[in-house]
A = this chain, B = another copy of it.
Amino acid sequence: MRNVTKENITDTFLGYFGDDTDPRLQEIMQSLARHLHDFAVETKLTHKEWQVGLDILRRAGSITTPERDEFVLLSDVLGLSSLVDMVNSSEEGTSSSVLGPFHISNAPAMPMGSDLRGDYEGELILVEGRVLDPQGNPIAGATLDIWQTAPNGLYSSQDPDQDTYSFHALFTTGDDGRYGFTTVRPVSYTVPTDGPVGDLLTATGRHPWRPSHLHYIIKAPGFRTLVTEVFPDDDPYLDQDTVFGVRDDLVMKYLPQKAADFPGSGYVLSGKVAEDYSLVDFDLILTAE
């Protein structure tokens, strides 16, 4: 194998593997190398273009911190993150969607019916629904880890003016599988554009916007954890989410409601709502582990 050629380099690469290499690692590296090699041959990638690619990775490395991960963002805008979600998504249950870089762990447990608005002003929304199994039975004891942007388009982890857990909450369902809370309508926002990923978006004529959404991580004993997002059907970026997160079954409606129609009980705001609001009614279906 002394004479490495365009034709035999992938086999040469595989031939270097030790006999006791983990078979799954071997499978992944084989597929990765074959696709990278085919990419270079198909495009006849020049040294200069290869350097441009390396420079994107070097710049991503130099801008990445625990709070700002340019490699995840690169994976996101290339559609790779969404594809990893989709190949691991259950066919039966609610689709998964990208976790994104803004989730923070250990959100405070809150009573069902809580209000997430804090001191923020914005369009009031009431979000409710059920956590169900594929047969439509309610799942009790499911935890819903919820997070969203503040009205300024920033998550608390990006925004020094917000408390750590601003617009974050953890709810646990009862026997009826129901959840419900009030908050302000989340807004569309842009992914960070001050790094190499922003330059790549600009160079390919792409905008950096994501449609507004609510994030959910739902866990329940005996069920697969669901990481997902829910998008309103009237968002201007719904058809062009820059990170490819939208799925048909993750699109919901804001249903306009009169103040007087606000539920009389079950919510912190019950009896205190003087403004019209919007209702989101969204069920989430988990599948067995």
Interface residues of A (CB under 8 A from B): 1-6, 9-10, 12-13, 16-22, 25-29, 31-33, 35-47, 49-50, 54, 57-58, 60-62, 64, 69, 71-72, 75, 78-88, 203-206, 238-242, 244-248, 251
A72's nearest neighbour on chain B, judged by CB, is B54
A32's nearest neighbour on chain B, judged by CB, is B39
Copies of this chain, complex-wide, total 2
**A85 proximity list for chain B (CB < 8 A):** 47
User: How far is B41's CA from A85's CA once the two chains are assembled, in angstroms?
Assistant: 10
By DSSP majority rule, is chain A's interface helix, strand, loop, or mixed? helix
Q: Flag if B2 contacts A239 (CB, 8 Å).
A: yes
User: How far is B16's CA from A242's CA once the two chains are assembled, in angstroms?
Assistant: 8
Query: Which of A38, A72, A82 has most chain B Cβ within 10 Å?
Result: A82
**A27 proximity list for chain B (CB < 8 A):** 43
Q: Flag if A82 contacts B16 (CB, 8 Å).
A: no
Distance (whole angstroms) from the CB of A62 to the closest CB of chain B = 7
Given contacts A39-B31, A45-B28, A58-B71, contact A205 B21 (CB under 8 A): yes
Within 8 Å by CB of A9, from B38, B42, B75, B244, lies B244
**A245 proximity list for chain B (CB < 8 A):** 4
Sampled A-B contacts (28; CB under 8 Å): A2-B246, A2-B248, A4-B82, A4-B86, A4-B247, A9-B79, A9-B82, A9-B244, A13-B78, A17-B204, A17-B205, A18-B206, A20-B205, A21-B203, A28-B49, A32-B39, A32-B78, A35-B35, A35-B38, A36-B78, A36-B80, A37-B83, A40-B80, A41-B87, A54-B69, A54-B75, A58-B69, A58-B71
User: How far is B3's CA from A37's CA once the two chains are assembled, in angstroms?
Assistant: 31
Q: Flag if B247 contacts A204 (CB, 8 Å).
A: no
Q: Flag if B1 contacts A239 (CB, 8 Å).
A: yes
Q: Flag if B84 contacts A47 (CB, 8 Å).
A: yes
Within 8 Å by CB of A84, from B1, B18, B46, B82, lies B46
Distance (whole angstroms) from the CB of A163 to the closest CB of chain B = 28
Q: Flag if B248 contacts A204 (CB, 8 Å).
A: no
Query: Which of A12, A84, A85, A244 has most chain B Cβ within 10 Å?
Result: A84
Distance (whole angstroms) from the CB of A52 to the closest CB of chain B = 9
**A238 proximity list for chain B (CB < 8 A):** 2
User: How far is B164's CA from A1's CA once the two chains are assembled, in angstroms?
Assistant: 36
**A12 proximity list for chain B (CB < 8 A):** 79, 244
